[in-house]
Amino acid sequence: MFHGFTRSYQYLPLSGDLKKHELGLYKYYYKYSEKNKYKEKREDAKNKTCEKFIENLKKYYITITEVNQKINDKRADSYYLTRTFLFVNLILLIVLGVIGYLK
Are 10 and 68 within 8 A, CB to CB?
yes
Across the range 64-88, mean pLDDT stands at 90
Tell whether the model's pLDDT for residue 3 goes beyond 60. no
DSSP letters for 59-96: HHHHHHHHHHHHHHHHHHHHHHHHHHHHHHHHHHHHHH
Are 63 and 79 within 8 A, CB to CB?
no
Across the range 45-69, mean pLDDT stands at 93
Determine what percent of the chain is predicted with pLDDT higher than 70: 93
Q: Of 22, 24, 27, which is closest to residue 42 (Cα–Cα)?
A: 27
